[in-house]
């Protein structure tokens, strides 16, 4: 298969670490121009500088995905610099799990704002541009938790189920515009996601589990590459993967 990644402009949210960082690195080495969005400005600026120093194309735009205007600014900057956006990867996410009886309402609100609204804001920012071009690909990040739920993960699983539902609705709506849609659902991948848990016991248990089971973040990046490299008439709509050792 030819490298259909070279020359593409890819906007990535949550690019300061984990899945987003690994994907940015892999795509940049394959010739994509990556536009990095995240709240931690220093991290994405350092990553962009590193990628450019290695011969890649990268810019960083400080972005909080809970603010629609900031997400729009991220996409607008990509278009200003590169003239287009070929791929949007809605990757930013939180996983502050806890039993519902602990009433972590602030956590619930944050999770919904980032995991659902952040995805919608990304779609809103890029969709008119892709419709006008009649070309593009939107990759939304769900989770194994978007396919099943367990005690302590109700709100997180609900947001990741929502990502899959939004992605399927989007898939049907964009057919007239030749836009491809992909939802990727990872299992335990080595990222900072367990650190987003605000309950100390939950965070410690998640860290131990990830230390035992998680696979490197470039496993996700390879899934992104697979979806992007398909011919234009092939639309990979959903990828679900786990570590081989993961039971859940």
Active centre residues (catalytic): 156
Reference 26, options 201, 216, 197; nearest CA is: 216
Residue partners of 115: CB distance under 8 A and separation at least 6? 93, 94, 156, 159, 160, 162, 163
The beta-strand segments (E) located in the chain are 9-13, 33-38, 57-62, 87-90, 136-141, 179-186, 238-241
The two structure tokens encoding residue 204: 């410690």
* Helices assigned H by DSSP within 30-145: 41-53, 68-82, 105-112, 118-133
End-to-end CA distance of the chain: 33
- CA–CA gap between residue 204 and residue 223 (Å, rounded): 28
- CA–CA gap between residue 177 and residue 235 (Å, rounded): 13
């Amino acid at each position: 298969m030819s490298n259909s990644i070279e020359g593409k402009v890819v906007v990535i949210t949550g690019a300061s670490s984990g899945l987003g960082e690994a994907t940015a690195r892999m795509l940049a080495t394959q010739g994509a121009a990556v536009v990095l969005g995240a709240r931690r400005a220093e991290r994405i600026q350092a990553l962009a500088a590193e990628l450019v120093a290695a011969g890649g194309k990268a810019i960083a735009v400080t972005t909080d995905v809970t603010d629609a205007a900031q997400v729009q600014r991220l996409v607008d900057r990509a278009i200003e610099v590169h003239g287009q956006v070929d791929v949007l990867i809605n990757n930013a996410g939180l996983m502050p799990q806890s039993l519902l009886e602990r009433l972590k309402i602030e956590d619930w609100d944050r999770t919904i704002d980032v995991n659902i609204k952040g995805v919608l804001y990304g779609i809103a920012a890029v969709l008119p541009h892709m419709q006008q071009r009649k070309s593009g690909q939107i990759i939304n990040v769900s989770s194994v938790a978007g396919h099943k739920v367990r005690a302590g993960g109700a709100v997180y699983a609900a947001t990741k189920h929502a990502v899959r539902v939004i992605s399927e609705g989007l898939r049907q709506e964009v057919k007239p515009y030749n836009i491809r849609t992909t939802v990727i659902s990872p299992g335990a991948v080595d990222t900072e996601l367990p650190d987003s848990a605000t309950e100390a016991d939950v965070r410690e248990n998640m860290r131990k589990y990830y230390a035992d089971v998680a696979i490197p973040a470039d496993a996700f990046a390879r899934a992104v590459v697979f979806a992007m490299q398909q011919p234009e008439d092939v639309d990979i709509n959903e990828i679900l993967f786990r570590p081989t050792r993961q039971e859940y």
